[in-house]
Amino acid sequence: MSFHLFRRPGSIFLLDDDRDYLEMLALLLPQQWHVRLFQKPHACLRHMREEQQAWAADCFRQETMVDLWRQGRPIIPQVLRYWAQHTHRHGLTHVGVCDHIMPGLTGLELFEQLRGGWPGARVLLTGQADERVAVNAFNHGLIDQYIPKQAADMAALLASCLTRLADHCHDRHDAIWRVTLRPQQMALFRQGGAGRALKELMEREWMEYVVLGDPFGVLALDAQGRASWLQLAARETLAEHAGMAAVDGLAADDRRPLQEGRVLVAPELRRSLGLEGVGPARPAFALDAEGRLLAARFELESSLLPAPLQGYQQWLAAQGERVLQNWD
């Protein structure tokens, strides 16, 4: 599939025993990324081993939400509370960038010790003499990318690589959330470019999101922590949607636009938030060329949320400047 069912921003670590080179890279990388700097390999390794426990706990929370959904508890309030209570989720490292030749521990040795417990992407910085080692490590799946330190456009190569690998760690999350979606819903994403269009919309509008099957849609946050719901509906189910909306109080005159796919409503969203009635309709638009998958966006006012939400930008601002993490 062309997009992840779960996505959020995370952190990056840079490890290099050359302090000047390390600080140069930190200055060149985009400021909207959270970057930890390490000069000592064993300090970096200790931090990442501690973080493995946080990764495991975070995945367990997500699995618990899905288990409770299976037992009949609405999923949307659970995700909103998770976002409200666990702002440290942005601190989990998505990509590690490591120099290869360092005193005490090579980059490949460090990555090898993190195998199994850390799902992030591994990038090795190499000198001229290291290229054959790096190619062999890449071919054996020990690293996801290697970048020559002597390359003239090294900083641009690194930024491009980090952008491409930032979502590498979400494969396990996808497996957790895929069970909420029916096969027919997954099939809609593969028809007529719907998946590509949805991916472009989600990445353009939101910093993090989760795609759900019951109710069918996307729950998302922008960089400032504003929540949205993207209601999804297959065109062939619109008559059923209109019938359900009628039960929730949708007037007869308002059903035809819904049946024709000109608007969508989100009664399941409202029920999950403890609200009565069908709620307002929003203009619908097609995600695929044939118009089989429709979407409509609903903004979630802060008064409707179970708890206040902090966006990635607020979290990032609270982390302060990029400094060396060189505790012993």
Dist. CA 85–CA 88, nearest whole Å: 9
DSSP run (H or E) holding 167: none
Q: Is the pLDDT of residue 117 over 90?
A: no
Work out the number of other CB atoms within 10 angstroms of the CB of residue 167. 21
Is the Cα dihedral 128, 129, 130, 135 positive or negative?
Answer: positive
Give me the pLDDT at residue 179, please: 95
Dist. CA 317–CA 90, nearest whole Å: 12
Dist. CA 91–CA 315, nearest whole Å: 9
Give burial (CB, 10 Å; 0-12/13-18/19+) of 259. Answer: middle
Which structure tokens are listed for 153? 């456009």
pLDDT digit string, tens, across residues 220-241: 999 999 999 999 999 999 988 8
Instruction: Indicate the pairing of strand 263-264 with strand 282-283.
Output: antiparallel
- The pTM assigned to this predicted structure is 0.93
Give me the pLDDT at residue 315, please: 96
Domain architecture of the chain: domains with CATH: 8-173 (3.40.50.2300), 179-304 (no CATH)
pLDDT digit string, tens, across residues 158-211: 999 999 998 888 888 999 999 999 999 999 999 999 999 999 999 999 999 999
Which structure tokens are listed for 246? 């009628």
